Amino acid sequence: MRNPRRGFRVCVLFLLIPFLCWVESVNGIGANWGTQSSHPLPPETVVRMLVDNGIQKVKLFDADYGALRALSKSGIEVMVGIPNDMLSTMASSMKAAEKWVSKNVSAHLTNSVNIRYVAVGNEPFLATYNGSFLRTTFPALQNIQAALVKAGLGTKVKVTVPQNADVYESGASGVPSSGDFRADIHDYIFQITKFLNDNGSPFTVNIYPFISLYIDSNFPVEYAFFDGQATPVNDGGTTYTNMFDANYDTLVWALQKNGLANMGIIVGEIGWPSDGDRNGNNEYAQRFMQGFMSRVAGGKGTPMRQGPIEAYLFSLIDEDEKSIQPGNFERHWGVFYYDGQPKYALNLGTTVTGALVPARNLKYLQRKWCVLKDSVKMDDPSIAQSVSYACALGDCTSLGYGTSCGDLDAKQNISYAFNSYYQINNQVDEACKFPNVSTVTKDDPSTGSCRFGIMIEPYYAGADGRRASVGFLVGLVLLLLIVL
């Protein structure tokens, strides 16, 4: 974040003051665009969604050629990413860093893609990585910075390292003013952070109040939101009524204690999942996201950092192929469903109607679903095996306690699993031939809050079609081995 990021212009058309001031105040809101989806939207469709919704910044987790090509001439500011598994290569080879910059930055800038940042890694110091990237992140960062300078881009494109909020802590007191970098990685974080600051680059942090609620059943729920219903936390006379402010200011204090008081901060990810957990639902997601957007719109900042906050919402679209190791909610962070349809009402302050604008001109597969046969007896031994297989290769993260499909009965649960696998495999007949227990229906089995989805037509017809076919054939062999 360049500090100050942007000032507020004076609204001079008096009748339009409320609307125009709202729009101006959130000028520059960003969104994360992930692509771990079995049926990704065409990149051009996603860029149109970004433009239609007034989202002026986008953060990518790699340098996907299709996405970058679609962003050409859009004017949208872009942060491209270098995945963690490439850090070792970038760290050990200056030539590799130069080649990466040439291919993934310089070439796209020439094609009118507005690349402003390169994210070197993504949460590389996350505690669960057990130090895997401790020694490669900084050298990779140095080499990418040097490659940008050599390409004449040192002032136009800035480097950054998106960090999880667990790289700093507030100690036993738990208040922001006790904030400092985590003791076991302090030297690594300081080295990287000082280097970023010296090169005019921001500290990028991902902040997730939902995760605190997910891992700690005693976490005060109201403290996760922005509407002032939580019991305040007093920090030497400074009052905190929500976790975001407290977390953000813990970082501000950590920077200040390490001689970096004026360093810019970007919130690289902030969001709330809509499914996959009892606290992941549309109601909470809407409440959190709208609360945050209203804060951004007001330009209020936090007690330690007044003024506009630069942030990228996490995320734009659901991704049904994300790892669920952290939790089933991982596939449900999107403000939009997989098909680009809004999940809930959310006023970003960037559209005339105040409503989210959905993806346009989509083509869906046929209106048919794979379900459990009515005649099947529930003690059929192939059912459990078939469901296990379908969920392993499909997406059953909406099943379970407190989820959108948590109220289904046993037969509906089985049908949901079957249909997920069937849709992911583009409704090919063989994908609904679980041994004598499944059938195709044209009657929508959706009920209540539980949607039995229909996939959109695959965009990458060639490559994805081949991948789906190979995956299906391999899966079919596995299924036969299971049930024989």
Distances (CA, A) of 465 to 46, 80, 96, 222, 362: 21, 27, 32, 46, 18
* Residue of 24, 98, 269, 319 marked catalytic: 269
**Rounded CA separation 403/137 (Å):** 37
* Residue of 123, 310, 319, 330 marked catalytic: 123
What tokens appear for 475 in the block?
């899966």
Report strand pairing: 238-240 vs 233-235. antiparallel
* DSSP per residue, 328-368: GGGGG--SB-TTS-BSS----S-SSSSSPPPP-S--BPPS-
- 98 among known catalytic residues: no
**Rounded CA separation 400/413 (Å):** 9
Chain center to CA of 176: 26
Chain center to CA of 333: 6
Tally of helices (H runs) and strands (E runs) in the chain = 14, 15
**Rounded CA separation 147/94 (Å):** 8
> Is residue 299 helix, strand or coil?
coil
**Rounded CA separation 250/230 (Å):** 19
> Is residue 378 helix, strand or coil?
coil
305-341: burial string, b at 16+ Cβ within 10 Å, e else: beebbbbbbbbbbbbbebeeeebbbbbbbbbbbbbbe
What residues are annotated to the active site?
A: 123, 269
